[in-house]
Amino acid sequence: MAGADRDRPGPMQAAQRAMRPPLPKRFYKTVSVGEEGGAFTVLLDGKAMRTPAKRLFALPVRALAEIAAREWDAQQSEIDPGTMPMTRLANLAIDRIAETASETAQEVKRYAASDLVLYRAGEPEGLVEEQAKHWDPVLRWADEALDAHFVLASGVNFVSQPDSSLQTVAKAVDAFAPPFALAALASVTQLTGSALIALMLGHGKIAPVAAWNAAHVDDDWNARTWGEDREATAKRALRLAEFEAAARMLSCTRAE
């Protein structure tokens, strides 16, 4: 009984669930991928899908449309957007990033001024070593590939970074074309807390799993030291699905 009580949602969680709007019912039988105007669409019962803003849901690469199509095909009696990270990212790109590209790029650039990989722990020794193991390669890449040099900080005290390095990063961000490549870059930046990790991933110089692990060095250390938090683990799994969709979009939209 104790285990059952522990798994039962509390009053606040029950209230939050009750306030959620009901999910829409699945209204289609078949899902396929079509091509229109050089782009790839998701077809529901043969009809091209639209975004929430009523724009054509059209992706630049068939592989991305196929991922979105599988998300729609996997829906059961109800349509749960929370289980459709590629669809949500594509909708964001088409409906928002296409119109706010400059602001989105600026958001990414701001991360570099206080990037995750720049702020190092002074102790314990094991955490210091883990941060260096995962983050130093990111800084070496920025140094060698972008000619961007950064100053490390100990603890949480803000340290100003060289203007020349921030300008170099800004140019690198501007190379990611809106809406899709920029949307994916912005998503990875937000999910990892690091514009430098996102740029390295966007250039194909770090594997997605290595980028994800680099972004969670502190979390993983705390989990090993103090034990995992079940709610935090569940939230991380959802964020991982979003990250994987963004990483795939980055890979498919990379300029060779």
Condensed to tens digits (0 to 9), the pLDDT of residues 121-162 reads 999 999 999 999 999 999 999 999 999 999 999 888 899 999
Q: Measured between alpha carbons, how far is 8 from 63 in angstroms, rounded to an integer?
A: 40
pLDDT at 9 over 80: no
Residue 188's pLDDT is 98
Residue 7 clears pLDDT 70, i.e. is over it: no
Q: How far apart are CA 102 and CA 45, in angstroms?
A: 37
What is the predicted pLDDT for the residue at 228? 85
Could you tell me where in the chain the CATH 1.10.3580.10 domains are found? 101-252
Q: What's the rounded Cα separation, in Å, for the pair 213 and 219?
A: 10
Tell how many helices (H) and how many strands (E) occur in the chain: 12, 6
Q: In the structure encoding, which two tokens stand for residue 116, read together?
A: 């995750």
Burial class (CB in 10 A: 0-12, 13-18, 19+), 104: buried
Residues of the chain with CATH 3.30.2180.10: 22-80
Assign 10 a pLDDT band (cuts: 50, 70, 90). Answer: low
* CATH architecture designation of domain 22-80: 2-Layer Sandwich (3.30)
| pLDDT tens column, 54-102 | 999 999 999 999 999 999 999 999 999 999 999 999 999 999 999 999 9
DSSP for 109-152? HHHHHT-GGGEE----HHHHHHHHHHHHHHHHHHHHHH------
Do 91 and 57 form a contact (C-beta atoms < 8 A)?
A: yes
- Average pLDDT over the chain reads 92
Q: How confident is the model at residue 230 (pLDDT cuts 50, 70, 90)?
A: confident
Give me the CATH topology for the region 101-252.
ATP12-like fold (1.10.3580)
Which has the higher per-residue pLDDT, 15 or 192? Answer: 192
* Count of beta carbons in the 10 Å neighbourhood of residue 160: 10
Mean of pLDDT values over 22-41? 95
pLDDT at position 6 is 39
pLDDT tens digits, residue range 164-211?
999 999 999 999 999 999 999 999 999 999 999 999 999 999 999 999
